[in-house]
Amino acid sequence: MSLGPTTGREFVLTLSCPDRSGLVHAVTGFLVRHSGNIQESQQFDDRLKDRFFMRVHFDVTDPAMTLEDLKSGFAPVAEAYRISWQLYEASTPTRTLIMVSKFGHCLNDLLFRCRTGALNIEVPAIVSNHRDFEPLAESYGIPFHHVPVTRETKPDAEARLLELVDELDIDLVVLARYMQILSNDLCKQLEGRAINIHHSFLPSFKGARPYVQAHERGVKLVGATAHYVTPDLDEGPIIEQDVVRVSHSQGPDSLVALGRDVEAQVLARAVEWHSQSRIMVNDNRTVVFR
């Protein structure tokens, strides 16, 4: 008695290219030739920029098929259609380095989600310019690297960060309320693989006490933004945003608590989508296949 099709290892293919006819047919033809079975397929045609984006999650029924076989097989298709592409095994966790300063809500949330399997990431290191969360890192068995930053030591601190990124084969750097501005050179070296989170009061309420400023102005929404890091401070391609309503009866402390909750949730979604190859940068915007 047949029990249905036998599935093999799962892969994710993402691609972008100039829009033209036959693209989807070319991709599906490649999958057919390599025993691929589509589990999920999403696409977007940006007609303003004449650019096509696609994400395909598939498995292969041929047990002998390898990731390198698939990459070799897709290369001629990519060349013919001028495709920029990436191909991964879906089960491979994203090696993620988390940076934090003195606010630990996002760090704590990410570590908990990682431990419970809600995020397909592994965290080889936590980097901080303070020692406040060294005990938290130890409780998860994650190496903690204290890298102090001053105006004089900033170049050395960033060099140490890049050493860790290379030594630990890091795929993604997450600024989980890391309160230091990265240099333009570091931003460029981490382009497309560094995510930041911040409150969405910018540019109206800057400085160390934005929630107090917001309360004094009687805001009705508290929000957060997760985006890729670029040399333009807090202006990188936006990945995810969310808001929560507040009222006149809520004081600054309440706004801070609500803000921390929404920051943690927004950052977790951004990290999840990045780890699943659901985000594609489209100039200064993103395409997010949710």
- Cβ proximity of 89 and 68 under 8 Å: no
Q: How many C-beta atoms surround the C-beta of residue 147 within 10 A?
A: 18
Q: How big is the CA angle at 160 (ends 157 and 166), to the nearest 5 degrees? A: 145
Does the annotation count 46 as an active-site position?
Answer: no
Q: How many C-beta atoms surround the C-beta of residue 93 within 10 A?
A: 13
In terms of residues, how long is the chain? Answer: 290
Nearest Cα to Cα of residue 242 among 269, 257, 224, 255: 224
Catalytic residue among 69, 156, 234, 253: 234
Listed in sequence order, the DSSP H helices in the chain are 23-33, 67-81, 105-115, 134-139, 154-167, 184-189, 210-216, 252-275
List, by residue number, the catalytic residues. Answer: 234
